Amino acid sequence: MSAALLSRWLLLGEWRAHRWQCLVAILAIMLGVALGFSVHLINTAAVSEFSAATKSLSGVSDLTVQATQATFDESLYPQLMQTDGVAAASPVLEIMAGVPAKADGRDDPALKILGLDVFRAATITPDLLGIPAEDQPFDTLSEDAIFLSPAAMEWLAVRPGDALQLSLGTKTVSLRVAGGLARAHAGQRLAVMDVGAAQWHFDHVGLLSRIELKLRPGVQHAAFKEALARELGAAYLLMEGRDQDARIRNMSRAYRVNLNILAMVALLTGAFLIFSGQVLSIIRRRAQFALLRVLGMTRRQILQQILLEGGLLGVLGSLLGLLLGYAMAAGALRFYGADLGAGFFTSLAPSLPLNPLAALLFFAMGVGVTILGSLAPAWEAAHTHPGPALKSGSEFVALRALRMPWLAGLCLLLAGVLTQLPPVFELPVFGYLAVVLLLVGGIAALPYLASLSFSTLLRGVDAQGRGVLRTLILARLSNASSLAAIALGGVLASFSLMVAMAIMVASFRVSVDNWLAHVLPADIYVRTMIHQDLRGLTPAEQQMIAALGGIERIDFMRSKSLLLDSARPAVTLIARPIDTRDPANTLPMTSDALPPAQMAATAIPIWVSEAMVDLYAFETGKKVTLPLTDPPQTFLVAGIWRDYGRQFGAIQMQLSDYRALTGDQHVSDAALWLASGMTAEQLITALDDLPFGTSLALSQSNQIRQRSLELFDRSFAITYLLELIAIGVGLLGVAASFSAQTLTRIKEFGMLRHIGLSRRQIRRMLGWEGGLLAGFGITLGFVLGVAISLILIFIVNPQSFHWTMQLYMPWTWLSLMALAMLGAAAMTAFAAGRRAVAGNVTQAVKEDW
């Protein structure tokens, strides 16, 4: 028989005899590859589409001049036009305007409007020029004309010639849809109008958002950028295309990385299932391999045969996983959106291109983990001496070779060390490595912990004389701890990850709920339709709201964006009344704030979120400068507060200080406390009756809280899905492990039948073994899961998202998961026992010599 024919015969024979184990391994690899590949495709498509849409707004410009605040004085435009090296400059005013509520069911419907100088934009952003009707060639300069992208027209359900009502603050503007755009990016909701008309209609006369520059040929970009940055000062930022790409990728990087890591959980679980399946297969076929060695098969051939078996499982699982992953990504983009619930990439309709390099990478990962899982058992089988391997009971010698007591201690020690290391490129790389090492160390320690635990129970049963069946069960578990650890590993891996994710998500949700209760103390909250509206409420409108009856207290707030770093998303500045004597009355503080006596008289106090500490090195007591004025003003960090609503940083300051510095008397929001005898419905009716009442968004605190928690659950929907799939894979692995182990013990069951045990007693024994093993694995998995959750809560989350949270144990959910796992393991062991004892007793032991 040729080597190839023998290999094929062995391979097909193993697959025919144990289809169930092979299918479980293929399924685990398929799900792991599918999840990882689909998440990668969705995120890559979303980021690429968002980046392309952003680049289309800059056209062929070489540099973008943008202020740290949302707008700046247009007097900078002629100054830049006269700068040496500038070939062309295009002024842009960007406004987020409110649209009619019927256009979209979202709470914050907004349309991006670009005000352009059509003559200047023609040389830099020609794709953004409006296309007027043939009989209206000057509509591009008309003060009431607006041009919409195809996606915006479809979204707003309008056509050329229709009237469109838009709003900014409480002001409503009626415009005429004059046509479409020359070449808008697919799926991008965008509107363009004359810059002068936009300034006038939306109360931004004399203001711009940015200026696109096209440099003359031969100008050194880096030198020009450096010189211009010095000339403009800290109030302006100069950005190139790569800066915008970096900002876009930084915006969702932590979320994308965490999703990819979670998607790899199923793949790692699949690798362990391959390992346990191969170990059990080698134990079952130990005599076969020994006989093949005697007949002339070399160690190398044995090693290649076992790796081939595992590798083919990986190839099949990976190919199926790539197909399933592409289908899942396409379905998610169509029905769920490109943001996967996180809200980073709204209003996008990205296509799903096939990426051969990414497909090859995930295929290699799937095949790689299967080969890695097969390597240790294959090496042991190839290097076992044939003589002892032909004898019954040699499987315990084989398992002894897999014991590595040093591995458990080393992994647990390294995991503890890695938890103390800082993030790498603002990602918790060492935190994730600590989780992996903790899991590997826990699985490696299983044989010793199982032997210790069940030996202790056995001594207690022997001392009390509690029956033969119990003695047999505990004797088996205590003396075959390595074999038991194979099944326990599946329980431990799946349950510990379930526990860790359940605790982390529950802790985060409870922390968010408590945070919302702290930051939403008022009864009713009032704002304009658009969040962080540039216009907001005017002083006269504020007075009209404050003059309403039934209001015990009213706090006005001003919210705006500050771009402190061109490579990072903007931070949020919030000006509001703050109790400086005890800021915790207003803000959810994380530590003690500076007392008023320690606040410098020459510096204005500010309170920053946790993200500002990590991203910008702000610390309590540190003096910092913020570009609110020219020149920048010095501020004192008076405390740090917890903020789950703004991942990229937020700053709060006294409203009176903000107004004194900027002269801005407008506000974005108002918090209202009801007076005695006034109901929320009555006050809402009074607010609706104001002249500008229809342009206000009114919410009660409990409504905001409920909506926020719904958004939280939506953003974690993909996490719940990944967790459920990991649970399913883990349960399948437990079932396969117990079933395979039972088949390796047919001789043992035959001997027990000869000495007097009935089939029913053996089935009961197996059911109790499965229950005890699962119970021990669940207990150890709970301990390990809690340890992993502590790393996720106190290391991974702060390093990824720059916020901390409190620890919360969801006992009800954990108990249900434990009972489900325990019942599944016991039922699987019992069902496998029925098959194992169904055969002839003499046939089962005739080879035992």
pLDDT class for 343, splitting at 50, 70, 90?
Answer: low
> pLDDT tens digits for 84-96?
999 999 999 999 8
SS3 608: strand
Q: Are strands 145-148 and 130-131 parallel, antiparallel or unpaired?
A: unpaired
Q: Is 179 exposed, middle or buried (0-12, 13-18, 19+ CB in 10 A)?
A: buried
Computed over every residue of the chain, the mean pLDDT equals: 81
Per-residue confidence (pLDDT) for residue 248, from 0 to 100: 63
Per-residue pLDDT tens for 241-268? 666 666 666 666 666 676 667 666 666 6
Please tell me the predicted confidence (pLDDT) of residue 105: 45
Which residues does 634 contact at the CB level (< 8 Å), separation at least 6?
602, 603, 604, 623, 624, 625
Q: Give the predicted TM-score (pTM) of the model.
A: 0.81
pLDDT of residue 836: 59
Which residues are 673's β-sheet partners?
553
DSSP reduced 3-state for 343 = coil
pLDDT digits (tens, 9 = 90+) for 745-769: 667 777 777 777 777 787 778 778 7
Mean pLDDT score, 180-186: 81
Q: How confident is the model at residue 17 (pLDDT cuts 50, 70, 90)?
A: low
β-pair partners for 527: 669, 697
- Reduced DSSP (H G I as helix, E B as strand, rest coil) percent helix, strand, coil of the chain, to 5: 60, 15, 25
Q: Rounded distance, CA 28 to CA 426, Å?
A: 31
Residue with the bigger pLDDT between 468 and 141: it is 141
> Worst-scoring range by mean pLDDT, 67-71, 152-156, 440-444?
440-444
pLDDT class of 629 with cuts at 50, 70, 90: confident
The model's pLDDT over 514-560, given as tens digits with 9 standing for 90+, comes to: 999 899 999 999 988 777 678 889 999 999 999 998 999 999 999 99
Those residues with Cβ within 8 angstroms of residue 25's Cβ, 6 or more apart along the chain or in another chain: 270, 273, 274, 277, 313, 317, 370, 736
Cα(540)–Cα(546) distance, rounded to whole angstroms?
A: 10
Confidence of residue 106 (pLDDT cuts 50, 70, 90): very low
Predicted confidence band at 613 (pLDDT cuts at 50, 70, 90)? very high
Q: Torsions phi, psi of 377, nearest 5?
A: -65, -35
Over residues 653-661, mean pLDDT: 94
- What pLDDT is attached to residue 107? 46
Q: Confidence class of residue 170 from pLDDT cuts 50, 70 and 90? A: confident
Under 8 Å between Cβ of 697 and 169: no
Model confidence at 465, pLDDT cuts 50, 70, 90, reads low
Question: Above pLDDT 70, what percent of the chain?
Answer: 80
